[in-house]
């Protein structure tokens, strides 16, 4: 990849080494595979929602602000979880400065067949992400790690059938319905991942919310391990899996999925995660969002970041997309913690 051509270690080198299991860099990298968009960062970038969901230049500028104003080693230009759903026909409210986008009407609530349109990647909500990644490649390629983001088939099923509806079918043991929808959506995930790599992403996040408090590890093992293994076999670059919640009961399953990294929450103890799977998969996280980043002080954030660093977490990051009112001072504390002693 282009970022390996720089002789002096830089942000891109640090991140790629951490995710691909290479030698340790001069310090732990800092990033967020999901989103660091918040009000203060929007003000610094001169960009706000919903423009940053719909306009490629705005998307790229807000992503760049995370590197320029915070010192993060990554840029990630997709801030919603519904870009694919919009391209597949879901009715979307794109939100505003204070509200994230949301699906308002589920086109396959009856579990009817889903056909991925031939021009899926040309739909506005997909095309804008690819254009933003291309802008970032031209402007910071090889300097900062460019991360893309794609929803896995489980998350897309929530958006196409409705979360409650999908989970009810799961709970009722309607495995044929579940399997059919996941299989029909998987090609969209694969196509969008590969398109983001072609556009210039160094890494892509596979966000698939088989969340710990909603879905048991046996559901993940039965339904998603085979699909994730197929996705990783058919995509052309490093992937970071993101699954929310306390997933301590399925870490080994994540390590079997074929992804290169796992982005995890504070509910999963960093030392335990590193001890159990840190030799098999790179770990990204796990600064607490609500208590530390949103409501805490820079000192609280610094302490959590140091805990993750000393545990051996490979890339230090917020546990998920940050709350919109997160103070920039708390995000900078992660960077300060990563630089201490290096």
- With 0-12 CB in 10 A as exposed, 13-18 as middle and 19+ as buried, what is 283? buried
Alpha helices in 28-142 (DSSP H): 39-45, 51-54, 56-68, 83-87, 124-140
The tens digit of pLDDT for each residue in 96-119 reads 999 999 999 999 999 999 999 999
Q: Which two tokens stand for residue 289?
A: 């969002």
Kindly list the structural domains of the chain, giving each domain's residue range(s) and its CATH number in brackets, ordered by start: 2-339 (3.20.20.210)
Would you state the pLDDT for residue 106? 96
Residue 272 has pLDDT above 80, yes or no: yes
Q: In angstroms, what CA-CA distances link 240 with 90, 195, 234, 284, 296?
A: 26, 16, 15, 8, 27
Q: What does the pLDDT look like over 150-192, one tens digit per residue? A: 999 999 999 999 999 999 999 999 999 999 999 999 999 999 9
- Report the percent of the chain where pLDDT is more than 90: 91
- Report the chain's mean pLDDT, rounded to a whole number: 94
Residue 342: per-residue pLDDT: 53
What mean pLDDT do residues 216-241 have? 95
pTM, two decimals, is 0.94
pLDDT surpassing 60 at residue 52: yes
Q: Is a pLDDT exceeding 90 seen at residue 29?
A: yes
């Amino acid at each position: 990849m282009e970022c390996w051509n720089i002789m002096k270690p830089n942000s891109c080198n640090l991140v790629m080494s951490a995710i691909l299991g290479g030698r340790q860099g001069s310090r732990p990298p800092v990033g967020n595979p999901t989103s660091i968009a918040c009000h203060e960062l929007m003000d610094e970038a001169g960009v706000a929602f919903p423009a940053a969901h719909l306009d490629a230049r705005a998307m790229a500028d807000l992503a760049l602000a995370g590197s320029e104003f915070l010192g993060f080693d990554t840029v990630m230009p997709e801030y919603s979880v519904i870009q694919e759903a919009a391209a597949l026909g879901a009715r979307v409210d794109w939100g505003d400065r204070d509200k994230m986008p949301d699906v308002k009407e589920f086109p396959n609530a009856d579990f009817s067949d889903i056909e991925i349109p031939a021009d899926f990647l040309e739909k506005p909500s997909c095309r804008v992400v690819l254009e933003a990644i291309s802008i970032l490649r031209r402007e910071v390629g090889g300097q900062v790690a460019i991360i893309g983001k794609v929803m896995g088939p489980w998350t897309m099923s929530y958006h196409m059938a409705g979360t409650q509806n999908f989970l009810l079918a799961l709970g009722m043991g309607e495995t044929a319905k579940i399997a059919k929808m996941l299989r029909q959506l998987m090609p969209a995930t694969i196509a969008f991942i590969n398109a983001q790599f072609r556009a210039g992403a160094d890494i892509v996040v596979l966000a698939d919310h088989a969340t710990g408090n909603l879905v048991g590890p046996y559901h993940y093992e039965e339904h998603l391990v085979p699909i994730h293994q197929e996705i990783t076999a058919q995509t052309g670059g490093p992937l970071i899996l993101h699954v929310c919640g306390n997933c301590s009961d399925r870490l080994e399953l994540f390590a079997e999925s074929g992804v290169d990294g796992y982005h995890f929450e504070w509910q999963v103890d960093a030392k335990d995660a590193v001890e159990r799977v840190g030799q098999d998969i790179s770990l990204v996280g796990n600064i607490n969002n609500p208590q530390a980043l949103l409501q805490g002080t820079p000192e609280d954030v610094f302490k959590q970041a140091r805990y993750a660093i000393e545990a051996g977490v490979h890339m230090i990051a917020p546990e998920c997309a940050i709350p919109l009112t997160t103070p920039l001072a708390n995000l900078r504390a992660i960077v300060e913690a990563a630089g201490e002693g290096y």
